Chain A
Amino acid sequence: MEDIAVKQYTFKDFQSDQEVRWCPGCDDYVILRSMLKALPEMEVKKEDVVFISGIGCSSRFPYYVDSYGMHGIHGRAAPIATGVKLANPDLSVWVATGDGDAMAIGGNHFIHVLRRNVNLNIILFNNEIYGLTKGQFSPTSLLGQKTKSSPYGNTQPPFQPGELAIGASARFFARIGGNTPKEMTKLFVQAEKFKGTSLIEILQNCVIFNDGCYTKYTDKKVKDDQQLHVEHGEPMIFGKEKNKGLVLDGLSLKVVTIGEEGVKKEDILIHDAKCKNDVMHHMLTKLNYPLVTGIIRSVEEPTLEEREAELTEQVKSNSNFSKVDDLFFSGETYEVK
């Protein structure tokens, strides 16, 4: 028999036979297509791929990927996925979740999965609104935003997902626009390769309830001037003319123009995604101008499964018990004759 580690898959191998039922024009289609393109590039077997979701528009995702999957209950995708991964660490486990699912009802699980560093990938579809329940504000909706449940304006200040995640010890955080399939595909492959919990925030436009919420960053006309796509080891430069960049000004980041006021290209900060100290990564997630996309943080540390496996091996090698009978008949037993 020929020994093939991983079959060469195509887009179609991962496409399920289910009719996709998101609203026409939704960025979710872009995310799905990018994923179906990325999966064959990941060197994982189709049967080892598992998609887990909670509830919401994004959580329909597992039905559309022909692999193993579970559509769970609201907010609980992260612990379901953790159970899958602990039961079988060889699987490639993905969580599809939204801003409501992950950060409101599932907020507790969201921070703990990141803290534990379970080796799985979380795709956060952030559309700053509740879509499936038809348009209430979410934990990422803007202050003052008028929604079905805030007709006079939202009074609850939002979370910045990256800031929350890095605060919860996220080792891998990336952000990407919902209309950039090529970059997204590449990012999914990078996330799979990263050992540990990878979190990808996708700026996903909801055409029905929050249309245009990211236009000022993602519209093709303004994108280059408004977004800074960071690459590890590269200077943080953006703009159509590639002449804008970030420098430190005291304890804040400042946008400068190369060639103006004596600023040279060498003055621009180099992005270090692998820096353990997360202060710069925090600042990058908080910037509004430019909005930072790409892999902001990528710091490998032992995963939960690795720590568990190591400990288990250690305990096994020091134990006299291999079968439960060894335990049951050990210690303080006595005979009744």
Chain B
Amino acid sequence: MTLDKTKTTAKKKVEHVNAVVIRFVGDSGDGMQLTGTQFTDTSAMFGNDVATFPNYPSEIRAPQGSLYGVSGFQVHIGSVEISTPGDDLDLLVAMNPAGLKTNLQAVKAGHTIIVDTDSFTKKNLQKAEYESNPLEDGSLENYRVIEVAMTSLTKESLKDLGLDNKSIVRSKNMFALGMVYWMYGRDMKHTLEFFKKKFKFKPIIAEANSKVIKAGYFFAETLELIPNSYEIAPSTMPKGTYRIVNGNTATAWGFLAAAEKSGLELYLGSYPITPATDILHELVKHKHFGVKAFQAEDEIAGITSTIGAAFAGDLAITTTSGPGLALKGEAIGLAIMTELPIVVVNVQRGGPSTGLPTRTEQSDLLQAMYGRNGESPVIVIAASSPANCFDYAFEASKLALEHMTPVILLTDGYIANGSEPWKIKSIKDMPEIKTMVITADSEGCGPFDRDNDTLARNWAKPGTPGLEHRIGGLEKNEFTGNVSHDPLNHEAMTNIRAEKVKRVENYISDLTPEYAEEGDLLVVGWGGTYGSLHSAVRELNKSGYKVGHAHFHYINPMPKNTADVFSRFKKIIVCELNKGQLSFVLKGRFNQYDFLQYNKVQGLPFSVIDLKAKFKTLLKED
């Protein structure tokens, strides 16, 4: 149904809902990310659980009005547990025809679309490749369309402020936000305060934005086109102090915590690459903690400077994304050979080559596992949500430092840019990190002596008298550390390096299936797909199916109970945003089980609806 514009509604209803999915779309310069972030923060502070998914083009300012220049921000808020940014939309706010065209298919039938009618000009319709105006040709019949001349109304509300036209038009996103705030009963207070802070030195811009958001809010309140508003009660999350974090920030903070906990200084050697760069952006801010963030001349200098810093005794990390990991391959081998503790963060994106820089994928798993010359095992772990990037960055540092070997931490564009509430962890709640540092005082232990349990070698920092030694990429003698080409020594050293990584399994947590300890189907995933798989499995169990969800955070080595978990289910399906890379690893290690696969490589996260449909089919097959 389209809304009959002539009808008036005397009184507006308030409808109670558990959760809604909202997407703001517009030109990449329209401020959609800011609009979405403000709505998210306000909702979180209101007490809702939230999850977000920004989706933006790789062009910074793509040509105005073009289909490929559409920038979007999706947010899922609820009074119930929210584990994904949601699939289909309850509300689409489209600032231009291109945004409408590229996002319409996601809107649930009968649900709401708010459009800025001022942007539906002949020129913009052409750019969006519309043959006729969708607002007039009846193609939106199945939706509730709220047509608002946002640009004109914004201009009207700011006409006395003496601002230039460009600045005026730029604040129209706040008109949309004001409307959405009213629809969902949100308080504008947080955003009004945000303007004051952000535009402290440009009070006129703060005033303009405040005026426009209020104009949008009051417009929605009085507008007859919006029949009702919605109430989403606060959710029942564990008590505590929270903040909204995205995965990249959480990753950066995990390293800050690990540095403080271990008593080491933090070094980052990095080269800008989407979508990993925000970790660099975050860490360069924290010179007050003594963070040394070095923007190198290339990916290789990023990691090799990191190896240098690790040799000199820092908690040393490097951050990158797919193509960058390829460039770092040889140096990771050097870190394996020199047995230095470094962490390599790979925020995965669509590949191969440049691929889809701003889109998500899980297709670097095999590169992380095997993408080096020689027998070169590394520890590979993966974060699975924006907030737990904090924990896994901390864990990656702990494993590197305690086992004296490089760790690859995999995240992806989806959780790196997505955000959710984080129950803030204090440094005192984090586990201890015991480094392998030795000083001249420790008798009888040299830089090439190992811990009996972990096989980690000692770490003698340059500057320590009496422990002078040389390391390098050439094979070394097991006992003296000197260069050795001896055949049996090489085999012994190869085995030590492998065994050292394998023994990490004694220090990691078990694989714990959720929802079912045993049953008809085990859904297996790893990394950033946790939220989608968790939601799908939760919903199926609610409907009476016996489905478990086992999610890998430790991929090399794997938890010791992995085979035991697999043995308790009739069917196992491995779901990944790639062509089956974890499946490949599992088939090699646990060939006594059949692994079914569910794969998607569209640069997008899984749809919970699709996952449920797939799992149901498998459950019915018996």
A194 to B353, CA, bound (A): 43
Chain A hits for B289, CB < 8 A? 321-322, 324, 327
Q: Which residue of B lies closest to A109 (CB)?
A: B301
* Contact yes or no, B464 A86, CB < 8 A: no
* Contact yes or no, A334 B241, CB < 8 A: yes
* Contact yes or no, A73 B308, CB < 8 A: no
Q: Which residue of B lies closest to A7 (CB)?
A: B465
A82 to B310, CA, bound (A): 12
> In this assembly, does B314 line the interface, its C-beta being within 8 Å of a C-beta of chain A?
yes
| Distance (whole angstroms) from the CB of B263 to the closest CB of chain A | 13
* Contact yes or no, A316 B287, CB < 8 A: yes
Mark out the residues of chain B between 467 and 483 whose CB falls within 8 Å of any chain A CB in the assembled complex. Answer: 467-474, 482-483
> In this assembly, does B426 line the interface, its C-beta being within 8 Å of a C-beta of chain A?
yes
B47 partner, pick from A69, A315, A327, A336, beta carbons under 8 A:
A336
| Distance (whole angstroms) from the CB of B15 to the closest CB of chain A | 25
* Contact yes or no, A332 B41, CB < 8 A: yes
* Contact yes or no, B312 A83, CB < 8 A: yes
* Contact yes or no, A72 B472, CB < 8 A: yes
A80 to B300, CA, bound (A): 10
A55 to B292, CA, bound (A): 27
> In this assembly, does B297 line the interface, its C-beta being within 8 Å of a C-beta of chain A?
yes
| Distance (whole angstroms) from the CB of A57 to the closest CB of chain B | 14
Tell me how many residues of B have a C-beta within 8 Å of chain A: 70
* Contact yes or no, B243 A76, CB < 8 A: no
Q: Which residue of A lies closest to B334 (CB)?
A: A73
A333 partner, pick from B237, B424, B471, beta carbons under 8 A:
B424
> In this assembly, does A149 line the interface, its C-beta being within 8 Å of a C-beta of chain B?
no
> In this assembly, does B444 line the interface, its C-beta being within 8 Å of a C-beta of chain A?
no
* Contact yes or no, B296 A87, CB < 8 A: no
* Contact yes or no, A87 B297, CB < 8 A: no
A109 to B305, CA, bound (A): 11
A331 to B197, CA, bound (A): 11
* Contact yes or no, B294 A71, CB < 8 A: no
Chain B hits for A67, CB < 8 A? 468
Chain A hits for B302, CB < 8 A? 79
Chain A hits for B44, CB < 8 A? 334
Chain A hits for B306, CB < 8 A? 83
Q: Which of B176-184, B252-260, B499-507 lies at the interface?
A: B252-260
| Distance (whole angstroms) from the CB of B253 to the closest CB of chain A | 7
A83 partner, pick from B237, B309, B463, beta carbons under 8 A:
B309
> In this assembly, does A45 line the interface, its C-beta being within 8 Å of a C-beta of chain B?
yes
| Distance (whole angstroms) from the CB of B45 to the closest CB of chain A | 5
A47 partner, pick from B256, B310, B424, B466, beta carbons under 8 A:
B466
* Contact yes or no, B287 A311, CB < 8 A: yes
Knowing A83-B306, A334-B45 touch, does A62 contact B472 (C-beta < 8 A)?
yes
B242 partner, pick from A62, A82, A319, A335, beta carbons under 8 A:
A335
Chain B hits for A322, CB < 8 A? 288-289
> In this assembly, does B88 line the interface, its C-beta being within 8 Å of a C-beta of chain A?
no
Chain B hits for A321, CB < 8 A? 286, 288-289
> In this assembly, does A88 line the interface, its C-beta being within 8 Å of a C-beta of chain B?
yes
The 0/1 profile, CB within 8 Å of B marked 1, for residues 279-315 of chain A is 0000000000000000000000000000010011001
Tell me how many residues of A have a C-beta within 8 Å of chain B: 58
B243 partner, pick from A51, A66, A79, A332, beta carbons under 8 A:
A332
**B314, B330, B473, B483 — which one has the most chain A CB atoms within 10 A of its CB?**
B473
Knowing A329-B241, A332-B41 touch, does A88 contact B463 (C-beta < 8 A)?
yes
| Distance (whole angstroms) from the CB of A101 to the closest CB of chain B | 13
A173 to B423, CA, bound (A): 55
> In this assembly, does B431 line the interface, its C-beta being within 8 Å of a C-beta of chain A?
no
Mark out the residues of chain B between 294 and 325 whose CB falls within 8 Å of any chain A CB in the assembled complex. Answer: 294, 296-298, 300-302, 304-314, 316
> In this assembly, does A90 line the interface, its C-beta being within 8 Å of a C-beta of chain B?
yes
* Contact yes or no, A48 B462, CB < 8 A: yes
Knowing A48-B462, A72-B304, A336-B240 touch, does A329 contact B424 (C-beta < 8 A)?
yes
B482 partner, pick from A18, A45, A69, beta carbons under 8 A:
A18
> In this assembly, does B267 line the interface, its C-beta being within 8 Å of a C-beta of chain A?
yes
> In this assembly, does A266 line the interface, its C-beta being within 8 Å of a C-beta of chain B?
no
* Contact yes or no, A66 B267, CB < 8 A: no
* Contact yes or no, B472 A328, CB < 8 A: no
* Contact yes or no, B267 A87, CB < 8 A: yes
A63 to B484, CA, bound (A): 12
* Contact yes or no, B267 A73, CB < 8 A: no
A90 to B300, CA, bound (A): 25
A321 to B286, CA, bound (A): 9
The 0/1 profile, CB within 8 Å of A marked 1, for residues 431-475 of chain B is 000000000000000000000000000000111111111111110
Chain B hits for A327, CB < 8 A? 253, 256, 286, 289
A69 to B482, CA, bound (A): 12
> In this assembly, does A91 line the interface, its C-beta being within 8 Å of a C-beta of chain B?
yes
> In this assembly, does B5 line the interface, its C-beta being within 8 Å of a C-beta of chain A?
no
* Contact yes or no, B288 A316, CB < 8 A: yes
Knowing A47-B464, A48-B462 touch, does A87 contact B483 (C-beta < 8 A)?
no
* Contact yes or no, A73 B294, CB < 8 A: no
* Contact yes or no, A69 B470, CB < 8 A: yes
| Distance (whole angstroms) from the CB of A111 to the closest CB of chain B | 8
> In this assembly, does B427 line the interface, its C-beta being within 8 Å of a C-beta of chain A?
yes
> In this assembly, does B338 line the interface, its C-beta being within 8 Å of a C-beta of chain A?
yes
> In this assembly, does B63 line the interface, its C-beta being within 8 Å of a C-beta of chain A?
no
Chain B hits for A73, CB < 8 A? 304, 330-331, 333-334, 473
Knowing A315-B287, A316-B288 touch, does A70 contact B311 (C-beta < 8 A)?
yes
> In this assembly, does A112 line the interface, its C-beta being within 8 Å of a C-beta of chain B?
yes
Q: Which residue of B lies closest to A317 (CB)?
A: B288
A82 to B302, CA, bound (A): 10
> In this assembly, does B352 line the interface, its C-beta being within 8 Å of a C-beta of chain A?
no
A18 to B484, CA, bound (A): 12
Knowing A72-B304, A72-B334, A328-B253 touch, does A83 contact B294 (C-beta < 8 A)?
yes
* Contact yes or no, B239 A83, CB < 8 A: no
A325 to B424, CA, bound (A): 9
* Contact yes or no, A319 B288, CB < 8 A: yes
> In this assembly, does B244 line the interface, its C-beta being within 8 Å of a C-beta of chain A?
yes
> In this assembly, does B187 line the interface, its C-beta being within 8 Å of a C-beta of chain A?
no
Mark out the residues of chain A between 148 and 181 whose CB falls within 8 Å of any chain B CB in the assembled complex. Answer: none
> In this assembly, does B519 line the interface, its C-beta being within 8 Å of a C-beta of chain A?
no
A332 to B225, CA, bound (A): 34
What are 25 A-B residue pairs whose CB atoms fall within 8 Å in the complex? A16-B470, A18-B483, A45-B465, A47-B465, A68-B463, A69-B469, A70-B470, A70-B472, A72-B472, A73-B331, A79-B302, A80-B305, A83-B304, A83-B306, A83-B309, A83-B312, A87-B292, A88-B462, A321-B288, A321-B289, A324-B256, A328-B424, A334-B45, A335-B240, A336-B240
Which 8 pairs, one residue from A and one from B, show the smallest C-beta to C-beta distance? A83-B308, A71-B472, A83-B305, A87-B312, A319-B288, A79-B301, A68-B462, A87-B309
Knowing that A46-B468, A48-B462, A86-B305 touch, tell me 17 more A-B residue pairs with CB under 8 angstroms: A47-B463, A47-B465, A55-B473, A68-B463, A69-B469, A70-B311, A71-B474, A73-B334, A73-B473, A80-B304, A83-B312, A84-B311, A112-B296, A312-B290, A316-B288, A333-B242, A333-B243
